[in-house]
């Protein structure tokens, strides 16, 4: 009977050490998951804003061709969209080329990204070009 009790005791201590390893893995997985969520929370909005700006620039280029907007009018409209989307760009960074046959809008800007110990810049260059229908 004494041997049986000793075996049961050893099994319990083995289970405790296995449980400790399981807890460490769970903590590491949760830490990685939290880091991934935090990173996505910081990075995704910049890409969404760039997509929305690109879409708006395409729309503005179409309307500019039809309505014969000047370069300054187009630049003002694009800058208004930049401000609404909270994009760190200056009005001077917006390049607009208008002629009788096409409107081209481009913008280069950089979004600083700070992830705890990792610092980098995301560079975006949305461009839009539209030609008249006729």
pTM of the model: 0.75
Distance CA 40, CA 54 (A): 21
* Residue 99 binned pLDDT confidence (cut-offs 50, 70, 90): confident
CA distances from residue 17 to 7, 10, 14, 63 in whole angstroms, order as listed: 16, 11, 5, 69
What percent helix, strand, coil does the chain show, rounded to 5?
60, 20, 15
Structure confidence by residue, pLDDT tens digits, 44-62: 999 999 999 999 999 999 8
Q: What is the pLDDT of residues 105-129, one digit of tens each?
A: 999 999 999 887 889 999 999 999 8
Tell me the C-alpha distance between 84 and 89, whole Å.
12
User: Distance between CA atoms of 36 and 58, rounded to whole angstroms?
Assistant: 32
Percentage of residues in the chain having pLDDT higher than 70: 81
């Amino acid at each position: 009977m004494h041997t049986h009790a000793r075996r049961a005791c050893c099994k319990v201590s083995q289970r405790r050490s296995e449980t400790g390893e399981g807890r460490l893995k769970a903590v590491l997985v949760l830490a990685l998951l939290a880091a991934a969520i935090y990173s996505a929370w910081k990075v995704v909005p910049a890409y969404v804003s760039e997509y929305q700006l690109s879409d708006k620039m395409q729309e503005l280029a179409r309307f500019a061709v039809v309505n014969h907007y000047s370069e300054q009018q187009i630049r003002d409209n694009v800058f208004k969209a930049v401000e609404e989307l909270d994009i760190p760009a200056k009005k001077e960074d917006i390049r607009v080329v208008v002629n009788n046959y096409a409107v081209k809008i481009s913008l280069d800007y950089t979004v600083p990204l700070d992830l705890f110990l990792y610092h980098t810049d995301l560079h975006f260059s949305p461009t839009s070009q539209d030609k008249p229908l006729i």
